[in-house]
């Protein structure tokens, strides 16, 4: 398919054939769209924040893939200029940088008298087939007028984005938001912004051939679409701001947005649901004098996410710690820059152990943890390594031996993510990523530390499993398969190295509230707590204390075992 004008001069509703536009989102496009729309939400551009979010990575602006509606052949109807009249969307799944996507549309209605066509659309992951976004959009067609492409060129005096100055990103918790709360900002859509959008589209298209800019702008006026893109800006920068997940929206353009004209975007909270921590907002785009009805009106729904979980401090842990004879032991914890690994590293330091904080991408968090340990009088180093890469693991162990000595205790804690994926949408490559981190990573680390343990005739290996391997939840095939393999590794190593006084055990906790589980709903977590005999969910401190127990001299005759940290939930071993 080529991105060119169809031969027909009028849309024929009887020819209701689907149109498809394949494209791919790059990091550069995300940055370009942030500059254009003013949506510099941390969820999209701050790597540290994205890693600690429920998505475990930065996600693409919800509005960015919808801009590729402008690449449809029906936006290039010969003799006409098309403009966005209405747009709705439901964001079903997050889209990540590098995803290859397929935009599919189908004509649902056509008013020949008004020259307005309505389409259904879906944005799909081209690899898995999963539907990421669905909605409706309509195009209004007017007779094409001559244009001068030079009018759309940028000049140094014009702002690169729609907003005259960058907004300050808000960070509102749900309990800080009330019905009637309102935010506003001014903007204008310049002709040069159309050229910026055109560049984003041409950079993203993977198999379609774009026309030259002059042909494209003659057939499509993107001013309305650019104004509607600010719905995302309002959610990500104003209300709720940093803690937002854009869920869905509706936008109707009752009057056209005009080039180089100042407008005001106004959003008002209309409803807030404590049970789901979601808000509904009314949106309007008006002229600055407010003398007319809104040019654009609509509605937004957004979820207010819980901020990144704060782990217990050293002072908190001191109140729960006792000396178990771990002084000067070298403890290596993989995936220790957050969550359970972070808490475990701090707790070991309080027993006098010399701690190795392994990280993959969380350098700043790992260094923060090391700093906290050192300020409390402990000894720790941060070492980067992708545990799924054997060469990186070998280099990590060489670094540890040079700085601290051989590893006495290995905690295999590194994990990918806990995001649910329907089995029929699961690709082997996605499953392989969890296997590589969880099983392959533990395999490499065990092989790297065991020779020195055998030489000293002493050592501890503790692998971190999950209750999900015993009672699998729906949609967690990749996580359960990988963790189940870790069970087998634990049992075989325990038998093979028991004669060398090396104990290999496993800690199996029920669900914990950490960054790993941030994408799980509050209602589900509350249900898990109510179903637990002890009437609460496990905490990282509960699990870390069990790890320390197995690493201590108190567990010198325990090997090949799983300790269930489940508050009384089955299985009862």
How far is it, in rounded angstroms, from Cα 303 to Cα 549?
40
Q: What is the pLDDT of residue 15?
A: 47
406 touches 449 (CB < 8 A): yes
512 touches 543 (CB < 8 A): yes
Compute, in degrees rounded to 10, the torsion defined by CA atoms 426, 128, 437, 366: -120
How far is it, in rounded angstroms, from Cα 262 to Cα 271?
29
394 touches 367 (CB < 8 A): no
* Given 96, 121, 479, 549, the catalytic residue: 479
Name the helix (H) or strand (E) containing 297.
strand 296-304
The per-residue pLDDT for range 281-308, each reduced to its tens digit, is: 999 999 987 667 889 999 999 999 888 7
Supply the CATH classification number for the domain 19-143+167-304.
3.10.129.10
Predicted structure pTM score: 0.73
Residues of the chain with pLDDT under 50: 1-10, 13-15, 156
The per-residue pLDDT for range 108-118, each reduced to its tens digit, is: 888 888 889 99
How far is it, in rounded angstroms, from Cα 189 to Cα 221?
11
Class of domain 326-565: alpha beta
Paired sense of beta strands 100-111 and 116-125, if any: antiparallel
**How is residue 520 written in tokens?**
């799980």
Place of tokens 């509706």: 250
Q: What is the pLDDT of residue 431?
A: 87
Q: Is the peptide bond before 240 cis (omega within 30 degrees of 0)?
A: yes
Q: What is the pLDDT of residue 154?
A: 67
Domain boundaries, the chain: 19-143+167-304, 326-565
Q: What is the pLDDT of residue 222?
A: 94
**Residue 82 DSSP label:** E
How far is it, in rounded angstroms, from Cα 24 to Cα 36?
18
**Residue 41 DSSP label:** -
**Residue 275 DSSP label:** T
Is 80 one of the annotated active-site residues of the chain?
no
Q: Which of 449, 328, 461, 463 is nearest to 400 (CA)?
A: 449
Name the helix (H) or strand (E) containing 196.
helix 191-204
């Amino acid at each position: 398919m080529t991105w060119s004008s169809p031969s027909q001069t009028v849309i024929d509703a009887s020819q209701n054939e689907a149109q498809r536009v394949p494209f791919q989102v790059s990091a550069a496009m995300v940055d370009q769209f942030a500059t254009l729309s003013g949506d510099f939400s941390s969820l999209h551009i701050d790597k540290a924040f994205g890693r600690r979010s429920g998505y475990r990575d930065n996600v693409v602006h919800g509005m960015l893939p919808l801009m590729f509606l402008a690449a449809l052949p029906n936006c290039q109807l010969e003799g006409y200029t098309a403009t966005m009249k209405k747009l709705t969307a439901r964001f079903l799944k997050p889209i990540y940088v590098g995803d290859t996507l397929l935009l599919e549309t189908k004509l649902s209605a056509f008013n020949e008298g008004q020259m307005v066509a309505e389409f259904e659309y879906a944005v799909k992951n081209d690899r898995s087939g999963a539907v990421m976004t669905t909605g409706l959009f309509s195009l209004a067609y007017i007779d094409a007028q001559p244009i001068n492409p030079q009018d759309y060129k940028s000049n140094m005096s014009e702002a690169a984005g729609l907003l005259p100055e960058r907004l300050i990103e808000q960070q509102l918790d749900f309990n800080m938001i009330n019905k009637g709360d309102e935010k506003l900002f001014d903007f204008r859509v310049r002709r040069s912004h159309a050229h910026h959008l055109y560049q984003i589209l041409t950079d993203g298209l993977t198999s379609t051939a774009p026309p030259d800019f002059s042909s494209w702008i003659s057939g499509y006026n993107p001013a309305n679409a650019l104004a509607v893109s600010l719905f995302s800006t309002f959610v990500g920068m104003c209300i709720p701001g940093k803690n937002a997940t854009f869920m869905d929206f509706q936008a109707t353009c009752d009057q056209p947005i005009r080039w180089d004209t100042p407008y005001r975007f106004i959003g008002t909270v209309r409803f807030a649901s404590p049970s789901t921590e979601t808000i509904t907002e009314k949106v309007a785009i008006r002229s600055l004098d407010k003398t007319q009805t809104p040019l654009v009106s609509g509605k937004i729904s957004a979820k207010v996410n819980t901020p990144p979980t704060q782990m217990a401090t050293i002072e908190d842990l001191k109140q729960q710690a006792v000396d178990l004879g771990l002084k000067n032991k070298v403890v290596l914890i993989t995936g220790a820059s957050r969550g359970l690994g972070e808490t475990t590293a701090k707790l070991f330091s309080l027993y006098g152990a010399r701690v190795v904080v392994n990280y993959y991408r969380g350098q700043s968090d790992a260094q923060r943890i090391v700093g906290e340990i050192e300020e409390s009088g402990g000894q720790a180093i941060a070492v980067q390594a992708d545990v799924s890469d054997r060469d990186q693991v070998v280099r990590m162990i060489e670094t540890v031996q040079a700085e601290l000595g051989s590893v006495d205790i290995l905690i295999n804690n590194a994990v990918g993510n806990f995001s649910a994926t329907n089995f029929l949408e699961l690709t082997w490559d996605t499953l392989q990523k969890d296997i590589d981190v969880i099983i392959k990573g533990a395999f490499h680390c065990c092989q790297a530390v065991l020779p020195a343990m055998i030489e000293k005739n002493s050592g501890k290996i503790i692998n971190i499993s999950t209750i999900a391997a015993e009672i699998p939840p729906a949609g967690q095939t990749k996580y359960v398969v990988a963790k189940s393999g870790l069970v087998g590794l634990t049992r075989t190593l325990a038998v093979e190295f028991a004669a060398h006084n090396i104990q290999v055990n496993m800690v199996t906790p029920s669900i914990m509230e950490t960054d790993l589980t941030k994408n799980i709903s509050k209602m589900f977590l509350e249900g898990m707590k109510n179903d637990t005999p002890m009437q609460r969910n496990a905490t990282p401190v509960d699990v870390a204390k069990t790890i320390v127990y197995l690493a201590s001299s108190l567990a010198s005759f325990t090997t090949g075992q799983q300790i269930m940290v489940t508050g009384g939930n089955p299985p009862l071993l």
